[in-house]
Amino acid sequence: MKTPLETPPKIPPGYLNIMGYVDESEVNGPGSRAVVWVQGCLRECPGCFNPASWSFAENQLISIEELANKILSKPKNQGVTFSGGEPFWQAESLAKLAKILKVKGLSVMSFTGFTLEELKSAKAPPHAQDLLAELDLLIDGPYLEQLAINDPNSLVSSKNQRVHIFNPAFNDQLNWASDQMEIHILKDGSRIITGFRGQMGLDY
């Protein structure tokens, strides 16, 4: 497994490079949530559920404003979850997106392959602190196949991963299950399968 702490992606300012997006997911955090899967991760964890997210090549470029409007256009979205790929390589834009959504009353959660300690260190990706400051919940740590959890009631996919609750309002809302699965059929007929074994699979 690589543990890269350099090589931030080159994305135009004000934009995100994403791999996928769904509204109203109930298997990626508390309540009904929009989910944004960012494009790009350098860890190459064996057993990663989403290897197509590893490349930093441009996939779907979307402005922060457009994505915020999409999320806010669905009143059932009570929050947003950032997944990947590695959200913290796009921390600056995700922090700005989170700020807009929090003003509108949405909660913000993120997965990351970094540990919280790494994100607080001098070697963290740029603007990691800005994104951390916006989060209600963080699931940290890479997926480690040898520590995999296949428990339908587990919030995480491998034993090393931790749930950090930064907003105590979520203390009693840790009720999503990582082994559940949702299939979202999009308007263009493509499908997004999410929640399966705690991560996600995209099926375009």
Stretch that binds ligand SF4, among 61-69, 83-91, 98-106, 161-169 (CB under 6 A): 83-91
Q: Is 45 in the site for ligand SF4 (CB under 6 A)?
A: yes
Q: Is 139 in the site for ligand SF4 (CB under 6 A)?
A: no
Residues contacting residue 21 through CB under 8 Å, at least 6 positions apart: 34, 35, 36, 37, 60, 67, 70
Stretch that binds ligand SF4, among 46-54, 59-67, 91-99, 189-197 (CB under 6 A): 46-54
Among 53, 90, 110, 178, binds ligand SF4 (CB under 6 A): 53
Q: Is 143 in the site for ligand SF4 (CB under 6 A)?
A: yes
Q: What's the rounded Cα separation, in Å, for the pair 83 and 78?
A: 16
Structure tokens at 146: 């040898």
Among 20, 29, 87, 142, binds ligand SF4 (CB under 6 A): 142
Q: Is 118 in the site for ligand SF4 (CB under 6 A)?
A: no
Q: Is 86 in the site for ligand SF4 (CB under 6 A)?
A: yes
Residues contacting residue 139 through CB under 8 Å, at least 6 positions apart: 109, 110, 111, 112, 155, 156, 161, 162, 163, 164
Q: Is 85 in the site for ligand SF4 (CB under 6 A)?
A: yes
Residues contributing to the site for ligand SF4 (CB under 6 A): 41, 43-45, 48, 50, 53, 84-86, 113, 142-143
